[in-house]
Amino acid sequence: MNNSQTAGALLRQWRQRRRLSQLDLACEAEISTRHLSFVETGRAQPSRDMLLHLAEQLDMPLRERNRLLGAAGYAPLYSQHDLADPALAPARQAIEQLLKAHEPYPALAIDRQWNLLAANAAVGTFIADMPAFLLGPPLNVMRLSLHPEGLAPRIANLAQWRAHLLMRLQRDAEISGDEALFTLLDELRSYPAPLDVAEPHADAVLVPLQLHSEHGVLSLISTITVFGTPNDVTLAELALETFFPADAFTAAYLRELAGRPGEG
């Protein structure tokens, strides 16, 4: 996106990204279509509250809401701290506790571009022997997962898992409007694709991650956790992904693996 865009141009761009007409947005925001048109074209100077109201209807990320306010000459509303900043100490401690408590199962924290921020010891056992160029920094979880020199050769259901990850990444890119995610999506799509078709089993209700191990195939399902009602850009863009064993064999294997220090 062009950083010199006006507030009206940004609103129009996000409205179009959300596939809404001026009438659609005006109705949702309970304002006149004429007023919205004037705001988008710059013929009307919206108040700070009006901009935030429209941003809420458009479900704009906090980062983009700050940018919208700045384009209109207003101060940003939402703070943005590095995760190591003392201001985020309570959140950081909560993340560390959640990651540790999830052991012996893998859990990790990622930013909006799928870069690894933190992980528990269980994650380390799976990536310890990955090539240095994939481990970063930053370590991009999507790239590590699907790169032909990364985890991809170990994924038993690569076609299905690849389709699942690409769909998630495309959704994230469209929701956030982050050009870096669209670039990453193009990169991942350029990797060699498996020959088998990514069709889920008829009775499948979840897409598992299935990994080859020395004793058999591990099967994991994942959940995503985000902070509720964050007022900081960093926290709003942070997500925790936790993996759970999908069968008894995987659960037993991971518990045993956690008891063998130095092995992965």
Q: Is the pLDDT of residue 262 over 50?
A: no
Q: What is the per-residue pLDDT for 194?
A: 85
State what percent of residues in the chain have pLDDT above 90: 86
Q: What is the DSSP letter of 58?
A: T
pTM (predicted TM-score): 0.87
State what percent of residues in the chain have pLDDT above 70: 93
Q: Between the ranges 179-183, 190-194, 225-229, where is the mean pLDDT highest?
A: 179-183
Rounded average pLDDT over 184-199:
85
Rounded average pLDDT over 129-147:
96
Cα atoms in the 13 Å half-sphere on the side-chain side of 35: 13
Q: Supply the DSSP string of 67-134, one letter for each residue.
A: HHHHHTTPPPSSB---TTSGGGHHHHHHHHHHHHHTTTS-EEEE-TT-BEEEE-HHHHHHHTTS-HHH
- Per the prediction, the chain carries an average pLDDT of 92
Q: What is the per-residue pLDDT for 193?
A: 87
Q: Which letter, b or e, does each residue of 129-164 get, where b requires 16 or more Cβ atoms within 10 Å of its Cβ?
A: eeeeebeeeebbbbbbbbbeebbbeebbbbebbbbb
Q: Is the pLDDT of residue 263 over 90?
A: no
| Residues 225-239: tens digit of each pLDDT | 999 889 999 999 999
What values do phi and psi take at 96, rounded to 5?
A: -60, -40
Residues in Cβ contact with 188 at an 8 Å cutoff, skipping those fewer than 6 apart: 142, 143, 146, 165, 166, 169
Rounded average pLDDT over 215-221:
95
Residues in Cβ contact with 142 at an 8 Å cutoff, skipping those fewer than 6 apart: 114, 165, 169, 184, 188
Residues in Cβ contact with 5 at an 8 Å cutoff, skipping those fewer than 6 apart: 13, 71
